[in-house]
Structures are given as structure tokens and as C-alpha cells.
Structure 1
Amino acid sequence: PKAGAVFSITFSEECPFLLAIGGSKGKLQVWDTLSDAGVVRRFGKYSTHKLDPAPDA
């Protein structure tokens, strides 16, 4: 990944198909896993979320 060696990975509670990766290059990479055709084929039917930014609470 562009983040370098991966130190931390977490999924979003509000949008479970978003994955955040932090790494050795000091960068944070956010990946929309539904942009991967294989993920969509296997898990896309479980997605009920649109990937629009959530409003501030």
C-alpha cells in the first residue's frame, strides 16, 4: 500500500466497507472495498450504505 508497511487497519462502524490503513510512511490510506469487483461480487449484496460523507452529529 501507499502507506508503506502496515501498522494499523480498521473498518468504519458507520460504513463497514470503508477500510483505513496507517503505515510506516506516516500516511493514512482509506479504501472503499466496494471499489474492488471481487469484493462486490462476494459481499456487495450486504451493503446498505451509500458512500456519501456522514453529516456532522
Structure 2
Amino acid sequence: MLEQLNQNNLTNTMTGNIKIAGEVIEKIETNPTLMNRVFSALKAGGVSAF
């Protein structure tokens, strides 16, 4: 997902990075399966999701 967004946006600027982050968050929030996978990965990595 990040590679696809990276191809469509310039990531060499803070504005580009913020835009990509917003698009990633939107995709995660609208896809319950993806959200569960992200939270599981964060928990497995030792990062507490809150």
C-alpha cells in the first residue's frame, strides 16, 4: 500500500509525507480487516495500540 501511494505522491517534502500518512490512515479506517491486521502487527511488535 505504501509503495503504491509513494508512486503517486512526492515524498521528499513534509507536505507529501503528511498526505501519504492521511491516505494510509483513511484506508486503514475504512477496512476493518486491514485495521485488525495493523493492530495485530503493532501488538506483536511490542507497540501498544490505543
The answer, yes or no, to whether TM exceeds 0.5 is: no
Indicate the structure with greater helix content.
Answer: 2
Greater strand content: 1
What TM-score do you get using the length of structure 2 for normalisation? Answer: 0.28
Normalising by structure 1, we get a TM-score of 0.27
